[in-house]
Amino acid sequence: MAILLSPSPKQQFFDDNGDPLVGGKLTTYAAGTLNPIVTYADKDGTENPNPVILDAGGRATIYLQDGFSYKYVLTDADDVEIWTQDDISIPVASGGGGGGGGGPLRAGIQSIGNGDDEVEITFSTPVDDTTYVIAAPGFRNTVDSDPIFLDYRIKNKTVNGFTIKLNVPVDSANYRVEYTVNEAV
């Protein structure tokens, strides 16, 4: 996983009067969904809170993970929405070679609750049809780097999302799933 700087290293946000958005909030979701997705405070992968709270100048440092598209929702300190922007991404870090194909239709990260044996992935805007392909989801422990191996199957695939059914419930709230949805080839 490469973690790269968002297009502007220290982003500054403004209210509708052009004043810095002091204490504003930037909530990030996987593009096309309402599934929260993490951003980072530095290149080492220190996670930002979600939402990111803007400083006294209306600024925040935001690093993004390559290969993912984000949706930004900007609100003032009282949670009044100022704007939403979908499909924010950075170029994918590459070791060269390859080629072909466009980017993913949808990608994101979804937390898995303690005791859950299903993860609902919901797109905020539907895809064109259900012929999309779900790449093998990656399961991650958010506390340490121990590998996680969870058996799963995909069910209820619709234009609005899908469900990941786990063979057993997870034993803590420290897990999340990373997913990518691609066009069928």
**CA distances for 180 relative to 8, 57, 58, 162, angstroms:** 25, 35, 32, 12
Q: Residue 97: what pLDDT?
A: 40
Contact present, 105 and 127 (Cβ < 8 Å): yes
Q: Where do the domains of the chain lie?
A: 3-88, 106-182
Q: Residue 95: what pLDDT?
A: 41
pLDDT in tens, 137-153: 777 777 765 657 777 88
Q: Residue 23: what pLDDT?
A: 97
Contact present, 26 and 60 (Cβ < 8 Å): yes
Reduced to 3 states (helix: H, G, I; strand: E, B; else coil), residue 124 is coil
Low-confidence ranges of the chain (pLDDT < 50): 5-6, 93-100
**CA distances for 185 relative to 23, 95, 97, 118, 130, angstroms:** 45, 23, 20, 27, 13
Reduced to 3 states (helix: H, G, I; strand: E, B; else coil), residue 16 is coil
CATH of domain 106-182: 2.60.40
Give 3-88's CATH code, choosing from 2.170.14.10, 3.30.420.40, 3.10.150.10, 3.40.50.880. Answer: 2.170.14.10
Q: Mean of the per-residue pLDDT values for the chain?
A: 80
**What residue has token string 């995909």?**
154
> Whole-angstrom Cα distance, residue 157 to residue 130?
7
pLDDT in tens, 72-95: 999 999 999 999 988 887 655 444
Q: Residue 10: what pLDDT?
A: 79
